[in-house]
Structure 1
Amino acid sequence: MEFSEVIKNRYACKKFDGRQVQKEHLDAILEAGRLAPTAKNLQEQRIYIVQSEEGLAKIDKVTPCRYGAATAVVVAFDKNNVFTYPGEKRDSGVEDATIVATHMMLAAKAEGVDSCWINFFDPEVMAKELGLPENEEVLMMLDLGYAAEDAKPLPTHSQRKEITETVTFI
């Protein structure tokens, strides 16, 4: 699939058919995340694949937003391995993990796998429920799977502001 088609057609799937993501597709998705750029190439992302019934039950205790996906990808980052920017008010953790997650989300669509970016949970509760190390901060979760037959994008999916409303040349 052409990249322009990937970004045009990808939507937040909120109804999965429950089938497990094929291994070759999951491998390609994870590789896209591995290749994502990070500040100073620190690669502070930590990716957790949750597919077991026990693991998915833990996810379901923390958020109602798994939507029947058989795979949940929890994206975190090592807070002790980030680049601090000049001014020391921000570091690279959140943005680098976001870049990694975005690469995986777009790779999923290219592989024919549907996804939904999930932030509707308390990151500290998620980390505790999954038993993640204290030095890691959970950024988001990515539901992965195949859309149910009657799944469809939200009605507003194709509505976009004109580029002149969001871009300014200085």
Structure 2
Amino acid sequence: MNFTELAKKRCSVRAYADKPIAPEHLQAVLEAGRLVPTGKNHQPQRILVVQSPEGLAKMAQAMHNTNAYTAKAVLMICSDTTDCWVRSFDSHCIHEIDASIVTTYMMLAATEQGLGSLWVERFDPEILRKEFHLPDNYVPDALLCLGYPQPEAVKSPERYDTERKPLEETVWYESYQA
């Protein structure tokens, strides 16, 4: 499968089969998160893998979702802010950008492995901090739910033909034009 096919195959999955994730599939997802380009190669990502029923219940609590979408694993993508590249022009720590790249790579690797995923930003960081004992310098940037998707949770790759704006509405050349 080429990249465009992979990108079109990926969809947000909110219902997962009651089947544990094969260790080799999870390992492939985590390896993809290790390979990402990060600001000045600082690699500030710190990923917590949560698979136990107790841990998933804590994740569901942080998401204010009673079942965490029935995911079999949730990856908490954090950034170590003491190990983050800082842009010299405005002193901006780019941890959110690095974490977004990590999450994107892992989401696409999950699709390649036959897993469904859901990128979650709706969570209470203080619950995550308390329940998972995050150090003060770790910022939870994203949660990635994983599992084998229920068949009805998978969307058609053709949806992009109608669900995405045409390039003419999102791309300009040389200068923005209203």
Structure 2 residue corresponding to 1:111, chosen from 110, 113, 134: 113
| 1:1-170 correspondence to structure 2 within 5 Å | 1-63=1-63, 64=65, 66-153=68-155, 157-158=159-160, 159-170=163-174
Cα distance, 1:89 vs structure 2:
4.4
Q: Which secondary structure does the structure 2 equivalent of 1:142 belong to?
A: strand
- Cα distance 1:157–1:128, how it changes in 2: closer, same or farther (>3 A)? farther
Equivalent-residue separation in structure 1 for 2:4 and 2:133 (angstroms)? 38
Q: Is the 8 A contact 1:19 1:69 kept in 2?
A: no
Equivalent-residue separation in structure 2 for 1:153 and 1:122 (angstroms)? 28
In the superposition, the TM-score normalised over structure 1's length comes to: 0.93
Q: Which secondary structure does the structure 1 equivalent of 2:153 belong to?
A: coil
Gaps of 5+ in 2: none
Q: Larger Rg: 1 or 2?
A: 2
Counterpart residue type for residue 147 of structure 1: P
Q: Which secondary structure does the structure 1 equivalent of 2:82 belong to?
A: coil
Equivalent-residue separation in structure 1 for 2:37 and 2:95 (angstroms)? 12
Q: Is the 8 A contact 1:73 1:142 kept in 2?
A: yes
Structure with the largest fraction of helix:
2
Equivalent-residue separation in structure 2 for 1:4 and 1:161 (angstroms)? 16
Percentage of pairs with the same residue: 39
Q: Which secondary structure does the structure 2 equivalent of 1:77 belong to?
A: strand
Cα distance, 1:83 vs structure 2:
1.1
RMSD, aligned CA:
1.7
Counterpart residue type for residue 39 of structure 2: A
Equivalent-residue separation in structure 2 for 1:48 and 1:157 (angstroms)? 32
Cα distance, 1:41 vs structure 2:
0.6
In the superposition, the TM-score normalised over structure 2's length comes to: 0.89
Equivalent-residue separation in structure 1 for 2:128 and 2:96 (angstroms)? 16
